[in-house]
Amino acid sequence: MKVVTINGVQYLGKLTVNEDGSALLTKAMKCYEISKETLANYIAAKNLDELTEIPFGGTGCQYFVEKLTKAQKLELKVCKLNMSRAKVLAIPEVENKAFRALLGK
């Protein structure tokens, strides 16, 4: 994942640059800063298949690419781990809550 700023707008996503100079940002989400909350929102959007593709390039298009910092990479790993954990626990927790409601507890 990269931080890509296209004509002044910042995104998180996977960048592919073609030989003809055109580019495609896949699995992209617009963001204003790269914070813990932004990374968590990215993982949540990915889970809901809400990430987009942004084709760009050509005359007048300026873009800048940055890597995530070590701290941001670590936070992203924590978010991914928590999403994996949530996927394992969510259904049983909802089932137990419904079960207790049926028992009147």
Residue 10, token pair as written in the block: 């910042």
pTM assigned to the model: 0.84
- At residue 60, the pLDDT reads 79
- At residue 61, the pLDDT reads 85
- pLDDT band for position 55 (cuts 50, 70, 90): very high
Give the separation between CA 66 and CA 61, rounded to whole angstroms: 17
pLDDT digits (tens, 9 = 90+) for 7-43: 999 999 999 998 888 899 999 999 999 999 999 999 9
Give the separation between CA 95 and CA 88, rounded to whole angstroms: 13
